[in-house]
């Protein structure tokens, strides 16, 4: 089963285009976990347990595991293994290096960790992306228009009559021969989502920035999804993970995730009834 097939099946089964980002900041974990042998692992496992029937995917951010030092890689692997087999995992790594090095990254993530997709940085060109695309059943989400405030420093620079991020999107279309490319497009850029979706009608969009970063959920769904209201993977991290820092943190995360799922579905239905 390819990543896209697994994603569509999880979305259909759970009625969801919500992706929960797993960003376990050790300083933000509930105090009730601080004395556990591995509080990060326990936190993520409980979050997954409370949200597993509400999501289309999970997105662990590798930085929050690398910071743990020598325990980080095994903790990340254990967290990934905790995700149900029928829910895809998108590793947020943002890697981008010369071909031979990119090949090692792809092997580490797809074979070593067993993830279904990974975020990649296109700054060094297509030879930094193609090693990830050699895994035809996995997907590479290419950073296109990110949600951070200074993304405009480069991504929105004009190249002739187009911004740079349009060139990235066009390259993704060309690289999508095996149907395993996607784009990362931030919810904090709603005015650019619509033309990008028109340019790339068939690519899945990973859309971070909803919640704590202030991205507009309705615009993310309305302009980021395809004609059927699909292929917009709405990532929410901190607003779900830290809905509570008390002992009920997992239950609160589940309630918050369900609320986001229902809002997303409401906007999807609105889009399908009144397509943009």
> What is the set of active-site residues?
94
Q: Which value, to the nearest 10 degrees, does the dihedral of the CA atoms of residues 238, 242, 243, 245 take?
A: -170
CA distances 27 to 68, 235, 236, Å, are 12, 22, 19
């Amino acid at each position: 089963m390819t990543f896209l097939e697994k994603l569509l099946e999880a979305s259909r089964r759970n009625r969801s285009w919500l992706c929960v980002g797993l960003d376990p900041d050790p300083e933000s974990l509930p105090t009730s976990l601080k004395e556990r042998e591995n509080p990060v692992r326990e936190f993520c496992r409980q979050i997954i347990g409370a949200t597993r029937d509400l999501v289309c995917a999970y997105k662990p951010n590798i930085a929050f595991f690398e910071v743990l030092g020598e325990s980080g890689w095994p903790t990340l692997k254990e967290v990934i293994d905790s995700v149900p087999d029928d829910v895809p995992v998108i590793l947020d790594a943002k890697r981008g290096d010369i071909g031979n090095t990119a090949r090692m990254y792809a092997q580490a993530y797809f074979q070593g960790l067993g993830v279904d997709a990974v975020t990649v940085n296109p700054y060094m060109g297509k030879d930094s992306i193609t090693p990830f695309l050699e895994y035809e059943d996995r997907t590479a989400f290419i950073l296109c228009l990110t949600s951070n405030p200074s993304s405009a420093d480069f991504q929105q620079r004009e190249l002739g009559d187009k911004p740079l991020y349009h060139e990235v999107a066009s390259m993704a279309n060309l690289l999508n021969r095996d149907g395993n490319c996607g784009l990362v497009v931030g919810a904090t850029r709603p005015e650019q989502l619509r033309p990008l979706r028109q340019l790339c009608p068939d690519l899945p969009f990973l859309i971070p920035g909803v919640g704590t970063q202030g991205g507009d959920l309705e615009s993310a769904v309305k302009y980021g999804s395809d004609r059927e209201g699909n292929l917009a993977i709405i990532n929410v991290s901190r607003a779900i993970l830290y809905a509570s820092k008390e002992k009920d943190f997992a239950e609160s995360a589940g309630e918050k995730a369900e609320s986001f799922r229902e809002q997303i579905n409401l906007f999807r239905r609105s889009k399908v009834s009144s397509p943009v």
